């Protein structure tokens, strides 16, 4: 594609979690790195997220979860993606994810984990280097 290609990223908060400071900081950081960032706001169901991905066609999806419900939400989200044959979107998660849960989430297809203290630069580079198209 031509050089007008912009990386489009969806930042979203699944489930019942109101802690959106991190998501906003990341959204802003990616914007400043020249990406087009869609922020959906709070309380997204896995189906909402799948719908948004289908319509907006982003290169990457960053889930922000600090509620501890990642092991319940992530499988449902990944299932939705599978159901719609969406296999060219990079999915990563930010928030509080305990070390012992990461292998399980990796198996589901989540490719990055960025908890508190991560530098924006790290996330920007991760997105740039890992998007699939």
Partner 1 sequence: MTQYSELIERLLKGETRAAARLMTIAENDIEAAEDIVKSIYKNTGNAYILGITGAPGSGKSTFISTLIRKLVKEGKKIGVICVDPSSPLTGGALLGDRIRMKEHFSIDNLFIRSMANRGQLGGLSRATEDIIKIMDAYGCDIIIVETVGVGQSEVDIFKSAHTVLALVVPGLGDDIQTIKAGIMEITDIFIINKMDLPGADRKVSELIRMLELNMNYSYSDDINNNFAKINQWTPEIVKTNSISGENFDKLLEKINKHKEFLKKTGIISNYHKTRIKSEILKILEYKMTQKIEKLFNTSEQIDKSIQKVINKSTDPYSMAELIIEMMGIEDSF
Binding site for partner 1 (CB under 8 A): 1-2, 4-6, 8, 27-28, 30-41, 43-45, 47-48, 51-52, 54-57, 84, 86
Instruction: Provide, rounded to whole angstroms, the least separation between the CB of residue 56 and partner 1.
Output: 6
Helix (H, G, I), strand (E, B) or coil at 105: helix
- 33 or 96: CB nearest partner 1: 33
Cβ nearer to partner 1, comparing 100 with 133: 133
- Least CB distance to partner 1 at residue 99 (A): 31
Nearest to 12 by CA among 102, 30, 82: 30
- CB atoms near residue 119 (< 10 Å): 10
Minimum distance from residue 55 beta carbon to partner 1 (Å): 6
Cβ closest to partner 1, residue 10 vs residue 93:
10
Specify the length of the chain in residues.
133
Residue 66 structure tokens? 């600090």
The closest of 1, 46, 3 to 61, measured between CA atoms, is 46
């Amino acid at each position: 594609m031509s050089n007008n290609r912009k990386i489009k990223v969806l930042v979203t908060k699944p489930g019942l979690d109101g802690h959106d400071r991190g998501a906003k900081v990341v959204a802003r950081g990616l914007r400043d790195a020249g990406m087009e960032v869609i922020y959906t706001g709070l309380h997204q169901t896995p189906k909402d997220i799948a719908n948004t991905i289908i319509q907006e066609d982003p290169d990457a999806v960053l889930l922000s979860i600090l509620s501890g419900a990642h092991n319940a939400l992530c499988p449902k989200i990944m299932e939705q993606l599978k159901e719609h044959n969406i296999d060219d979107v990079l999915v990563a998660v930010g928030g509080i994810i305990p070390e012992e849960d990461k292998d399980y989430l990796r198996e589901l297809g989540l490719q990055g984990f960025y908890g508190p203290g991560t530098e924006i630069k790290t996330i920007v580079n991760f997105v740039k280097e890992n998007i699939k198209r």
